Amino acid sequence: MKYETVTWRNDKVVMLDQRRLPTEEAYVECDGPAQVAEAIRNMTIRGAPAIGVAAAMGIALGAMRLRVKSKGRFREEFEGICRMMMETRPTAVNLSWAVQRMKDVLSGYGEEGLDGLRRALKSEAMAIREADIEVNRQMGQNGKRYIQNGSAILTHCNAGALATAGYGTALGVIRAAHEEGKDLEVYVCETRPQFQGARLTAWELDRDGILVTLITDSMSGYLMSKGLIHLVIVGADRISANGDVANKIGTYSLAVLAKAHGIPFYVAAPLSTFDLSLGTGDEIPIEERDTREVTHPFGRKIAPEGVRVWNPAFDVTPHEYVTAIITERGVAQEPFATSLRGLFS
Ligand code: MRU
């Protein structure tokens, strides 16, 4: 059966519960915006583009449920729903990008009735979802030339169909190369503490018939030193104007290791992942999550009671370690500041 990361069904936002994969394929139905916000927070849905799409759908759902008569009251309540979405997860800029697109619908709307506005908000959310899939396919076309026949690829976390509305960013590039008939092998880091690599990426690639080898995070350096990896490709949660990349914790270590071993390090990300208002990656807010994710994987205690824990969910890879950033509009390379300005102009 084909799976759907996030969709709209019977006036509900329906998402595949990623916390339960790979053992169970269960869907969660969100009846209102608070449920969508909670699903983003507790990682029922995750991945930068996917949480942007979910937030937009949650806002559309909220607008539909609002039982107010005046445009003024509608606007106040709408702002509250947008704030609630924005407060869920701070690092992925796709979320604020999608919320802004929904706000733009409201500000661009004239004096027509509220029902028309509700319909316009729903169409915008659906358009964001559809465009995300298209953009990923385009990225796949732009990036597949970096993958030669017979390549062994290393990836981290999950930047696949599950992290987007469909097809994926980094996994989209891998998929496009696979669809072209190239023979590939993908090594997947398990990605502690939430195991997105083991639980989600291995599951996704295996379903597509792509050869997958799972490793623990600490095995990547040795794997590279043995000459077993030809390229690394990952997704991103936010990219600053100079090309610094925030992505899942552990990405920076892989980039440094890749450079030390002369292995190209690629990032695949849509334009909605760029935050050109930030000069460097130092300005990217990094989410810190519950320490229990580290001390209690899968609910089982593995560390002494009361031990101090640090749990940043993302890190920042300086642009010097990035070979190229693949987007739907083209590929950016050093000097990234100039190259990115070109892509956005
Ligand atoms: O904490 P998560 O699972 O939301 O983190 C996801 C990642 O870091 C992905 O690599 C990133 O969002 C790119 S997804 C196309």
Does residue 89 have its Cβ closer than 6 Å to ligand 1? no
Which residues touch 147 (CB under 8 Å, ≥6 apart)?
153, 173, 174, 177, 182, 184, 231
Does residue 197 have its Cβ closer than 6 Å to ligand 1? no
For residues 172 and 326, give the distance between their C-alpha atoms in angstroms, rounded to a whole number: 11
Tell me, in angstroms, the distance from the centre of ligand 1 to residue 47's CA. Answer: 4
Does residue 6 have its Cβ closer than 6 Å to ligand 1? no
From 6, 16, 157, 290, mutation site for ligand 1 pocket: most ligand atoms within 8 A of C-beta = 157
Enumerate domains of the chain plus CATH numbers: 6-137 (1.20.120.420), 142-344 (3.40.50.10470)
Q: What is the largest CA-CA distance in the chain?
A: 67
Tokens of 259: 């450079």
Which of these is catalytic: 104, 115, 206, 237?
237
DSSP 310: -
Look at the chain and count its residues: 345
User: What is this structure's pTM?
Assistant: 0.97
Q: Give the DSSP letter string of 149-211.
A: TT-EEEE-S--SGGGSSSS-SHHHHHHHHHHTT---EEEEE--TTTTHIIIIIHHHHHHTT-E
Residue 136's closest CA among 177, 189, 185, 172?
A: 172
CB 200 within 8 A of CB 16: no
For residues 125 and 8, give the distance between their C-alpha atoms in angstroms, rounded to a whole number: 10
Q: Which residue is it, tokens 């030339």? A: 145
From 93, 171, 247, mutation site for ligand 1 pocket: most ligand atoms within 8 A of C-beta = 247
pLDDT of the chain, 345 residues: tens digit per residue:
689 999 999 999 999 999 999 999 999 999 999 999 999 999 999 999 999 999 999 999 999 999 998 989 999 999 999 999 999 999 999 999 999 999 999 999 876 789 999 999 999 999 999 999 999 999 999 999 999 999 999 999 999 999 999 999 999 999 999 999 999 999 999 999 999 999 999 999 999 999 999 999 999 999 999 999 999 999 999 999 999 999 999 999 999 999 999 999 999 999 999 999 999 999 999 999 999 999 999 999 999 999 999 999 999 999 999 999 999 999 999 999 999 999 999
Mark whether 237 is an active-site residue: yes
Does residue 169 have its Cβ closer than 6 Å to ligand 1? yes
Tell me, in angstroms, the distance from the centre of ligand 1 to residue 209's CA. Answer: 22
